[in-house]
Amino acid sequence: MHARTHQQITRRLVTAALIAPSAILYLLLLIAPLALIVPLAFDRPRLGPIVLRGDWNSVNFVRIATSSLYQQAVLNSVVVALAVVALALLLGFALAWQMARIRDPRRLNLAILAVLAALQVDLVLRLFGLVALLGDVGMINRMVQAMGGPALGLMYNSLGVTLGLAQLCVPIVVLTLLGALRQIDSDLIDTARSLGAGTGTILRRIVLPWVAPQLAGAGLLVFGLAFSSYVVPALMAGGRVPVLAMQLYDQIMGVGNWQMGAALALVLLVVANAMILANLVLTREARV
């Protein structure tokens, strides 16, 4: 009895020792900044270094709620993020579905490596590649103009931001869905086809219900990345599409208004979590 108790205590101590480094990093890198941001957001704005003066009020949030610039930034952030979710899930599902049907392990491994390679390339380099492709003098516009057509506005607007974020998120969707799609029994698909079911019916009645949890999870990941992105809107729109992340950066790094930046960070956090919570609720109701 004493030996068993000693083993349990030892196991718990080992578990605690393994968890402690991650827990400490979590507290330092997430909880501590949030503990600073919340009171800072309710402090009266002052330019300069971070100083909590205790002059608590809601002037920062009133300004956000009444300013057309910040209202437009919130709207742009939500709309672009939802568009990226739809586009990334559509493209990612189509690619993952084709990869799941590969039976040769070597070909499948090459396809997975190609997807992983896209994640390994630096984001800025990938965006510069898109600029060369979608820019006003990029490859696509040169081809269109060579055929006598007008130049297409593929950048410096919401479309450019959406395309830039989609190419960032599609590999994440593919890797999230691939494992679940590979688990679908091919005999089940063949049986459905033999009974007269078309591709649309198979996807709607068999495949999509099977991967619904993974689709929801991928959608949440994509929304979080797209909603909080700063680099992609900055490079693909050149500041012409105001989003929350860019306004936050401008307030802190450009103006030095840490209080306003903290308030914008809280708004970004609340809106993102509200959308994620709504997604979880809708997904749970759909399952029921």
Token pair, residue 100, equals: 């799941």
Q: How confident is the model at residue 175 (pLDDT cuts 50, 70, 90)?
A: very high
Total domains present in the chain: 1
Residue 197 within any structural domain of the chain = yes
Q: What percent of the chain has pLDDT over 70?
A: 96
CATH no. for residue 246?
Answer: 1.10.3720.10
Is 191 in contact with 161 (CB distance < 8 Å)? Answer: no
Amino acid in the structure at residue 240: R
Closest CA to 133 of 121, 141, 124: 141
Compute the Cα dihedral for 176, 179, 180, 184 and give only its sign: positive
Cβ contact 228:245 at 8 Å: yes
At residue 286, does pLDDT exceed 80? Answer: no
Q: Tens digits of per-residue pLDDT, 208-261? A: 888 888 898 898 889 989 998 999 999 898 888 999 999 999 998 888 888 898
How much is the average pLDDT of 12-24? 83
Residue 117 belongs to some domain of the structure: yes
- For 137, other C-beta atoms within 10 Å of its C-beta total 10
b/e map 108-134, b = 16+ CB within 10 Å:
beebeeebeeeeeeeeeebbeebbeeb
Token pair in block for residue 170: 């599609």
Mean pLDDT over each residue of the chain, to the nearest integer:
85
The pTM of this model reads 0.84
| Residue 65, helix vs strand vs coil | helix
Q: What are phi and psi of 224, to 5 degrees?
A: -60, -45
Instruction: Rounding to the nearest 10 degrees, give the CA dihedral for residues 257, 260, 262, 263.
Output: 180
Asked whether 232 and 249 are in contact (CB, 8 A), the reply is no
Please state the φ and ψ torsions of residue 229, each to the nearest 5 degrees. Answer: -75, 140
Q: What residue type is assigned to position 157 of the chain? A: N
* Cβ contact 219:81 at 8 Å: no
**Phi and psi, residue 54, nearest 5°:** 75, 20
Residues 27-67 pLDDT 10s: 888 787 788 888 888 888 877 777 777 778 888 899 999 99
DSSP assignments along 96-147, one per residue? HHHHHT---HHHHHHHHHHHHHHHHS-HHHHHHHHHHHHSTTSHHHHHHHHT
**What does residue 43 show for φ and ψ, rounded to 5 degrees?**
-90, 150
pLDDT at 1 over 60: no
Is residue 171 one of the residues assigned to a domain? yes
Name the residue among 138, 143, 125, 140 with its Cα closest to residue 235.
125
What's the CA gap between 113 and 111, in Å, rounded?
Answer: 5
* 210 is a domain residue: yes
In this structure, is residue 182 part of a structural domain?
yes
Count of CB atoms within 10 A of residue 186's CB?
A: 11
Distance CA 263, CA 255 (A): 14
Does the residue 36 lie in any domain? Answer: no
Section 190-205 average pLDDT: 80
Tell me if 76 is assigned to some domain.
Answer: yes
DSSP reduced 3-state for 43: strand
Distance CA 190, CA 202 (A): 10
DSSP string, 12-30: HHHHHHHHHHHHHHHIIII
| pLDDT value for 68 | 92
Domain with 120, as residue range(s), is: 67-287
pLDDT by residue (tens digit) across 112-160?
A: 999 988 888 888 888 888 888 888 888 888 898 888 888 888 888 999 9
